[in-house]
A and B are shown apart, each in its own frame.
Chain A
Amino acid sequence: MGAELIVIAGKLIVLATLLLTAVPVMVWVERRGAAFIQDRLGPNRVGPWGIIQPIADSVKLLFKEDLTPAGVNRWLYFLAPMISVFIAMLTFIVVPFGDGCGVTILGQPLGSLMVASELEVGVLYLLAISSLGVYGIVLAGWSSNNKYSLLGGLRASAQLISYELSMALAVLGVILATGSLRLDEVVAAQSGKLWNAVPQFLGFVVFVVAAFAETNRLPFDLAEAETELVAGYHVEYSSMKFAAFMMSEYMNMVTVSALLVTLFLGGSTLPGVHLEGWLGLVVSLAVFLGKVAFFMWLFVWVRWSLPRFRYDQLMRLGWKGLLPLATVNLVLVAVGVARGWTWI
């Protein structure tokens, strides 16, 4: 029991470190990436290539005055950023972010690097917890007592509900093909054959698009559309409360990228590579991080390449585009499973 707890705590520490480190790194990548795409320099004063800039930024945010505007609902105004960060961190514990490769620590086999390794309903847990993330945004918008915030919060809730459906349907295809709700088994099922992204290409595309919408990133960032809503749901927030929203946005990006990699691109495995022991552990971790990094860059790339959707376009795409596509994918997979096609 003791050793088991220590192993779980160790996994948690690694996970939290990865997640929290990803935030400043991504802020830097985003700013440098934006500058690169727009043919300007970007932050380049603090540290080599401006790499210390996110730390300077967070120090600045820490020392900003923590304002509470008049007329806000104090409790909810205080709670909303916390809910956002809390939910963003909670979702990750069912994602296998590496492969133990037979390594034992304190007599405990490491298995796949997944914190909640006992949970049988991993995918459902993930969908359930991430569906709670909308409360952070909605409550922030409502409690701020500001029309722009309220509109941002309303847009966010409508958008998240709409795209959650397509996303869940796309995930359902993968579950159907795997026959398990555990993400480590989803990864294991992909190791001997084509990655899910090939036979379930439709589901993959739907999931990628829905991922952008679920993380409130351009071209779906209608909840904080600067040109219309100033900054949307977090317009009244300052200091670390504002930083909390930013952190949760980047952590959600990491989570959704990790999920994409796990569900559709073979997680921490590479085809034809089977390593044992510590080397295998490190390599699997690196492979996983590399795949996630690709999608993180995709988020940045798309953000600075595409303009924002109009609201009606967003809804039309969600309900008339993605939902039918996801359903078609599900039906195709169901037919494949019923016919016993092994490659699906």
Chain B
Amino acid sequence: MVMTVFVVAAVLAIVSALVAVSHRDPVINVLSLVVTFFCVAVNFALLGANFLAAAQILVYAGALLVLFLFVIMLLGAPQAPESGLHRPVQKTAGLALAAIVIIGGVLLALTMKVLPPASPVTGDAREIGKAMLTTHAFSFELISVLLLAAMVGALMLVKRKH
């Protein structure tokens, strides 16, 4: 049962991720990305990480991609042309890079032993909260500052035009 769900979700995630980067209609791109995130969330849930699954949907599918969709619909982004890559060199370089990443990933996965078991996932939201505010408090604060800086920067960029 778990295996079936995993395989379906994983295959769907990969297929929709491919659609997300290859389809010519930006709205379809965003929607297939939603499907990808949803399937990844399903796999998180299968691993017992319910909190991560909910956060994945809440943040990415529910908030971020709605904004993407909003912008695309508001600006009416045109369909991408047949292919943005004109020079054969670009295509070759892209394919080579993709091949390196895929082969590297597979090699890494093969050489690595099973991941060390994470801390028990019972009451995972509590565990994650504790870890964030004690063990990883510094990085947590650092990320908040980074996000704040990004937000202020975005506001500055918008302000400048007016």
Whether a CB of chain B sits under 8 angstroms from the CB of A161 is yes
Instruction: Check if A132 sits within 8 Å of B57, measured CB to CB.
Output: yes
- Which residues of the partner chain A approach B66 to less than 8 Å between Cβ atoms? 131, 134-135, 138, 157, 160-161
Give the size range of B's interface with the partner. 20 to 34
Given the interface contacts A121-B50, A128-B57, does A157 sit within 8 Å of B62 by beta carbon? no
For A95-127 the 0/1 string (1 means CB < 8 A from B) is 000000000000000000000000111001101
Which residue numbers of B lie inside 8 Å of A, CB to CB? 27, 31, 34, 50-51, 54-55, 57-58, 61-63, 66-67, 69-70, 73-74, 123-125
Cα separation A64 to B27 with both chains bound (whole Å): 30
Please determine whether A124 and B51 come into contact, CB atoms closer than 8 angstroms.
Answer: yes
Q: Pick the residue among B54, B73, B124 that contacts A142 (CB under 8 A).
A: B73
Q: Is the CB of A154 within 8 A of B54?
A: no
A223 within 8 A of B: no
Task: Return 30 A-B CB contacts under 8 Å, by A number.
Answer: A120-B50, A120-B124, A121-B124, A121-B125, A125-B50, A125-B54, A127-B54, A128-B54, A128-B62, A131-B57, A131-B61, A131-B63, A131-B66, A132-B57, A134-B62, A134-B66, A135-B34, A135-B69, A138-B69, A138-B70, A138-B73, A141-B73, A142-B73, A157-B69, A157-B70, A157-B73, A158-B70, A161-B63, A164-B62, A181-B125
Cα A336 to Cα B61 in complex, Å, equals: 34
Interface residues on A, range: 20 to 34
User: Across the interface, which residues of A come within 8 angstroms of B69, CB to CB?
Assistant: 135, 138, 142, 157
Chain A residues lying within 8 Å of B31, measured Cβ to Cβ, are: 76, 139
CB-based contact B55/A124 at 8 Å = yes
**What residue of chain A has the Cβ atom nearest to residue B62's Cβ?**
A131
Q: Evaluate contact between B74 and A124: CB separation under 8 angstroms.
A: no
Within 8 Å of chain B (Cβ to Cβ): is A153? yes
Task: Decide if B57 touches A154 in the complex (CB within 8 Å).
Answer: no
**Which A residues are CB-close (under 8 A) to B58?**
124, 127-128, 131
Query: Which of chain B's residues has its CB closest to A131's CB?
Result: B62
